[in-house]
Chains A and B, each alone.
Chain A
Amino acid sequence: MIVTIIRKELSMLFISPLAWILLALIQLILTWVFLVRLDAFLEIQSQLMQIANPPGITEIIISPVFAMAAIILLMVTPLLSMRLLAEERRNHTLTLLISAPVSMTDIVIGKFLGLMVFFLAVIALIVALSISLRLGGALDFGLILSNTLGLFLVTACFSALGLYISSLTAQPVIAAIGTLGVLLGLWMFNLAASETDGWLQYFSLLKHFEQFNQGLIDTLSIAYFILFIVTFLVLTIRRLDGERLHG
């Protein structure tokens, strides 16, 4: 049943030009960042040779690309997650799903996974971009793996939050602005956290992502991400069930 909903979400996504435009735009920006970093690397390459243990191309070029990707996906997720439930509610199509022999959990998880499949495509393109560097030298695949995993988890967090906020309203635009607001707020947390360096940093999504970005797969960060995703998915299911009970 979940597969049916994932397929439906993906086909809805790719019917509209929005997904294609976003895919192209993300790729364009990231390729540009990639080339700028490559250029910088070539310039300092001779100086790097003189250092005892110099950073490799993966650290200098690929890590910044992934860091940039996280920020771009933070901006893009609200645009895609806003439709998930808010638009269904505005067009009165949620009735079709609720009247069908499908549980609320299936609906919510199907929608979430549908969006994640789209982001997997985005991440796969970034990985392909990174691997293209193999033409010029050796790559640190461990670092690429930790970056990929981190980016996937942090995007899943963005999506889960976006899905929940989309379930609160019947206006997609409000869902988008709300999600963007909360995500930017969480980013601000990150800025504040790096200054005070206190307990606040545990709540920042991007702070946790930074660890993956540096090649550190930290179980605490993984636990935080998974907890974040599960919390917002459960809240979404509860919200939809609550509407049936009280709405």
Chain B
Amino acid sequence: MADETAALTLSAQNLCRKYGHHTAVQNMNVELRRGEVLGLLGPNGAGKTTTMRMLTGNLAPSAGSIEICGIDLLDKPREAKLHLGFLPEIPPLYHDMTVDEYLLLAARLHRINKQTLQAVLDNVKQRCGLEVQGRHVIGTLSKGFQQRVGIAQAIIHSPDVIILDEPTVGLDPNQMREIRSLIRELGVSSSVILSTHILSEVESVCDRVQIMHKGCVVFDQTMAELQHQGTSLEVVFTQLTQ
């Protein structure tokens, strides 16, 4: 039991978020262990992006608590964010910078020390398939490569929790497959949350799935349980969100 709590990398309790009178997220609970990939599903406007922005400190929750590796995100944001990597829906890229300049900036922002900087940079470029693009200006890259730069930025400091908002949108099938295998690889050493609309992606990548609808979690099960019951994700999804 003690071992299990030690492996807990992210824990959010009773998260709520209101925009004026509109409640975007209500009583959301998320727990994530090391080596787990969680798929966050839901129709448009279900509160997935709001949840992810809260988990990464971009948005303050109206109520609830968030702990990253045992550090309270609201009390000690700087310490907690060291363990976080985030790729928002629109990758936060400076289009005038080259890939190297941009990744160096991301590395420095995450306090990677000078001695290891070059090694870290080479490693992350190799993992994301950006070896040749180092000197290219980001604005001239194709959508798929820009997405990879966005992912590289999120994992450069080898965070314990990686949060990816629709990482495979706009990619061609080959790139999608590559990104998925990258996510699987990341899921071995860290915890990953990814949101997506593609159910087959969840089936191939995730260990656990949560479905959100109108700001609430309506479904939370591991893929193994789901397979054991013999129900397909698509049926569950349509039943719960229609």
User: A residues near B, CB below 8 A?
Assistant: 1, 4, 7-8, 11-12, 15-16, 91-103, 244-245, 247
Contacts and interface: CB of A to CB of B under 8 A. Distances in A.
Nearest to B91: A92
Interface string B73-87: 000011101101010
Contact of A96 (B78, B111, B153): B153
Given A4-B105, A4-B109, A12-B96, A99 B90 contact: no
Given A92-B92, A93-B92, A101 B110 contact: yes
Given A99-B81, A101-B81, 19 more contacts: A1-B109, A8-B105, A11-B101, A15-B96, A91-B94, A91-B95, A92-B88, A92-B92, A93-B94, A94-B92, A96-B153, A99-B57, A99-B86, A100-B81, A100-B106, A101-B77, A101-B78, A101-B79, A101-B109
A93 B93 contact: yes
Contact of A4 (B57, B84, B97, B108): B108
A-B CB proximity, top 3 nearest: A96-B92, A100-B109, A101-B81
Contacts of A12: 94, 96-97
Given A100-B81, A101-B81, A245 B109 contact: no
A105 to B, nearest CB: 11
Given A4-B105, A12-B94, A101-B82, A95 B77 contact: no
A93 B109 CA distance: 13
A15 B60 CA distance: 34
B60 A99 contact: no
14 contacts: A4-B108, A7-B108, A12-B96, A15-B96, A93-B93, A99-B81, A100-B81, A100-B106, A100-B110, A101-B78, A101-B82, A102-B109, A244-B58, A244-B60
Nearest to A5: B109
B146 interface: no
Q: Which residue, of A8, A99, A247, has the highest number of chain B Cβ atoms within 10 A?
A: A99
A97 B109 CA distance: 8
Contacts of A98: 57-58
A20 B77 CA distance: 38
B94 A95 contact: no
A5 to B, nearest CB: 8
A103 B81 CA distance: 10
A141 to B, nearest CB: 39
